[in-house]
C-alpha cells in the first residue's frame, strides 16, 4: 500500500523567512512519481512539481526548491524568502507507475505573516 | 484554451436529496478522475474513467455514489440520498490518453449537506 505523511499540520513564519515542508512516503514500487500541489485559500489545486523516482537531482524554481532523498523516502519542499502570497495548504502526493490514482498526504497549512 | 471546468462551484443539498457534480475535461483529454477532500484532510481518490468506461473505482463508496463519462458531454459524479458526511470538496482532474501521467485539476465543487 502507498502512504504519504506530512507530519507538519501547520507552520507559521514571518515574511522573508525560509521554510521547509516535509514529505515522507511509503511504497513498495521501485518506480513512481512524486508531486507537490498548492491549495490557496480560494480552494483550487495548483500543480508545483512532478518528480520521477529515478531522478534524484534537486530542483530549484525561483524561490522554490525540492530535495528528493530516495534513501530516506523523503521529498521535502523549501520556500526561500517566504511571502504572504505563499500562504496556502501544500500537499505532497505519490503516484505508482502504471496507475493513474494519486495518493495524497494530509497537507501542511503554511501561514506567512507580514 | 479552457482548463478543467467543474460546476457548480458550490452546491447545497438537503439530506436525502441527490447531488450531481459535473466535470468537463480539458480539450484533448479523454481521462477523468474524481477526488474527494473532506474538511481539513487531503484528497482521496474515488474513480478513474475514460469515455464510456470506468477503469478504476477502487475509491468509490459502495453505495449511493456513481460516476459516468458518456461519449458526449461532461463526466458526472452522482450522489444519491446525500447525508451530512458527504459534505466535502469534490475535485475532478483530466489527463491525455498517452504521455506523462500528469493531471490538471479543476477548481472543485463544494458540496454542503444541510
Q: What is the pLDDT along chain A (114 residues), one digit of tens a residue?
A: 889 999 999 999 999 999 999 999 999 998 999 999 999 998 889 999 999 998 888 888 899 999 999 999 999 999 999 999 999 999 999 998 878 899 999 999 999 999
| Alpha-carbon dihedral angle through residues B54, B59, B65, B71, given to the nearest 10 degrees | -20
- Looking at CA atoms only, how far is residue A31 from chain B in angstroms? 13
Instruction: Please report the pLDDT score of residue B102 as a whole number.
Output: 65
Pick among A2, A38, A44, A95 to test the B interface (most B CBs inside 10 A): A44
Nearest C-alpha in A relative to B94: A100
Instruction: Please report the pLDDT score of residue B101 as a whole number.
Output: 57
A107 touches chain B (CB under 8 A): yes
- Asked whether the beta carbons of A73 and A26 are under 8 A apart, the reply is yes
Between CA A68 and CA A52 the distance in angstroms is 10
Residues of chain A contacting B101 with CB distance shorter than 8 Å = 33, 95, 100
Give φ, ψ of A20 to 5 degrees.
Answer: -120, 130
Instruction: Please report the pLDDT score of residue A63 as a whole number.
Output: 95
Mean pLDDT of all residues belonging to chain B? 92
**Residue B100 binned pLDDT confidence (cut-offs 50, 70, 90):** low
Instruction: Please report the pLDDT score of residue B103 as a whole number.
Output: 81
Which cell numbers in the block locate residue A21? 515542508
Instruction: Please report the pLDDT score of residue B113 as a whole number.
Output: 97
DSSP class of residue A76 equals E
Q: For residue B28, is pLDDT > 90?
A: no
Q: Other CB atoms closer than 10 Å to residue B12's CB: what's the count?
A: 13
Amino acid at each position: 500500500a502507498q502512504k504519504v505523511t506530512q507530519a507538519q499540520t501547520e507552520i507559521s513564519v514571518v515574511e522573508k523567512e525560509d521554510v521547509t515542508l516535509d514529505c515522507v512516503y511509503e511504497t513498495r514500487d521501485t518506480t513512481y512519481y512524486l508531486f507537490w500541489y498548492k491549495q490557496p485559500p480560494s480552494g483550487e489545486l495548483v500543480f508545483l512539481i512532478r518528480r520521477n523516482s529515478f531522478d534524484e537531482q534537486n530542483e530549484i524554481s525561483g524561490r522554490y526548491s525540492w530535495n528528493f532523498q530516495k534513501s530516506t523516502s523523503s521529498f521535502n519542499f523549501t520556500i526561500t524568502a517566504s511571502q504572504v502570497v505563499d500562504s496556502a495548504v501544500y500537499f505532497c502526493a505519490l503516484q505508482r507507475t502504471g496507475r493513474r490514482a494519486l495518493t495524497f498526504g494530509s497537507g501542511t497549512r503554511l501561514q506567512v505573516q507580514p | 484554451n479552457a482548463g478543467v471546468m467543474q460546476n457548480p462551484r458550490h452546491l447545497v443539498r438537503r439530506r436525502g436529496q441527490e447531488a450531481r457534480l459535473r466535470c468537463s475535461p480539458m480539450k484533448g483529454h479523454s481521462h477523468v478522475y474524481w477526488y474527494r477532500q473532506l474538511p481539513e484532510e487531503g484528497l482521496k481518490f474515488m474513480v478513474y474513467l475514460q469515455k464510456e468506461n470506468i477503469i478504476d473505482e477502487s475509491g468509490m463508496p459502495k453505495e449511493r455514489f456513481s460516476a459516468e463519462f458518456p461519449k458526449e458531454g461532461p463526466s458526472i459524479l452522482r450522489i444519491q440520498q446525500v447525508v451530512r458526511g458527504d459534505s466535502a470538496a469534490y475535485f475532478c482532474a483530466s489527463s491525455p490518453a498517452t504521455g506523462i501521467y500528469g493531471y490538471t485539476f479543476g477548481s472543485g465543487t463544494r458540496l454542503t449537506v444541510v
